[in-house]
A = this chain, B = another copy of it.
């Protein structure tokens, strides 16, 4: 008599009567997407963060995909530099706020005691929180600009939003635009750059991952530099901090960071291999369509829409080539 509610993305599809056609679900679309619709993620664009094992000795690894151009590349460059310097090794996850963020780095208030940063980090201007609509990379052909060649174009009716003129996906990332700019959105598991008050924009040394409802008010106010694609539960289950602003008042609660490495610095056999479902494919368009209009054995009333952070771009681990 266990009553289960439907699982998120990639859950098993309930069995159906043999004479009924199998219902189309987000999972069935992902499962049937041709190999050509999947795009490899370069290990050089991944950060592998290893936390100390939990108190039961279980390993804890968090994999973060870095944001592609044209977004946030000043901070992404700093982060690559920090990773190559092994700067995060020995730092901690020091702040966790429910329905908000888990934050890591040095976390030292006293500048005299702060861990020195590598030479050469850039100071990135606030204007780089967004990119120009006509930036070097062509985001049309993705869903941010409706593509008439796609039978199931993701249009503004399905992705209506309070936060932007238009929202959609580019290169597998949720994005939003105004008349004159385009920017990456803050969704669950997004990774951003903690900072002091404006005009400070942060270096990239102190990072946070979103562990709650999409805090879209941060869009255009803080740099989104990537997303956790595996192991978010190692951050979302951490105890919530009870000190000022959710910082752990008891230093013993801090989760030690053993190492943070760029994927391509790891031995070949340990390099993480992932693929995402291309957002310029028919499969992705159908996936969004069905996410917006669930109509299977569990769902009886299709929503008729979906918000950009509830689409959950399909990403999968694959064997080494």
* A residues lining the B interface (CB < 8 Å): 1-8, 11-12, 14, 94-95, 97-101, 103, 105-109, 111, 114, 126, 129, 158-163, 187-189, 192-198, 200, 202, 205-206, 208, 212-222, 232-233, 236-240, 244-247, 291-292, 294, 297-301, 303-307, 309-310
Contact = CB atoms under 8 A, between A and B. Distances in A.
B213 A213 contact: yes
Nearest to A197: B297
Query: Interface of chain A, helix or strand or loop or mixed?
Result: loop
29 contacts: A1-B106, A2-B108, A2-B247, A4-B103, A4-B196, A5-B195, A8-B99, A11-B245, A14-B197, A98-B233, A129-B301, A160-B162, A162-B292, A162-B304, A162-B307, A163-B304, A163-B307, A188-B213, A198-B300, A213-B213, A213-B214, A213-B309, A214-B310, A216-B307, A217-B294, A217-B299, A221-B301, A237-B238, A237-B240
* A3, A188, A215, A291 interface centre (most CB from chain B within 10 Å): A3
Nearest to A114: B1
Q: What copy number does this chain have within its complex?
A: 2
Contacts of A306: 162-163, 216-217
Contacts of A247: 2, 4
Nearest to A7: B245
A192 B300 contact: no
B292 A12 contact: no
A238 B236 CA distance: 9
Contacts of A97: 7-8
Contacts of A197: 14, 297-298
Given A213-B213, A305-B162, A232 B98 contact: yes
